Amino acid sequence: YNPSRVRYPMVRLDWLRKREKSDRSQRGDNRFVRVSWDQALDLFYEELERVQKTYGSSGVFTGLADWQMVGKYHKAGG
């Protein structure tokens, strides 16, 4: 346990208000606010849906299966 760890879902205030239209230059400076677990899951699901609708299935990177795949991914210019 570390007293500075994040124990609750937190969201950047500007993103919470404006979502993808938020001012990205504020990242790192904008304060975070606590949200409920239910709200955090709803926000995640809504954003995942938006990205999939906007960019298609390739807009969501779900990770790599093993270390061999990491090499293939980097060689492909990813």
For the chain, the domain total comes to: 1
Q: Would 33 be classed as within a structural domain?
A: yes
At residue 40, the pLDDT reads: 95
Q: What tens-digit pLDDT sequence spans the chain (78 residues)?
A: 788 888 899 998 888 887 877 777 767 777 889 999 999 999 999 989 998 899 887 787 776 666 666 666 666 665
Q: Would 4 be classed as within a structural domain?
A: no
Q: CA 78 to CA 72: how far, in whole Å?
A: 9
Q: Would 28 be classed as within a structural domain?
A: yes
At residue 10, the pLDDT reads: 93
Q: Would 2 be classed as within a structural domain?
A: no
Q: CA 15 to CA 21: how far, in whole Å?
A: 8
Q: Would 34 be classed as within a structural domain?
A: yes
Q: Would 5 be classed as within a structural domain?
A: no
Q: Would 60 be classed as within a structural domain?
A: yes
Select from 17, 6, 10, 47 the least CA-distant residue to 32: 10
What's the domain range around 45? 10-75
At residue 4, the pLDDT reads: 86
* Residue the block writes with tokens 């093993």: 66
Q: Would 14 be classed as within a structural domain?
A: yes
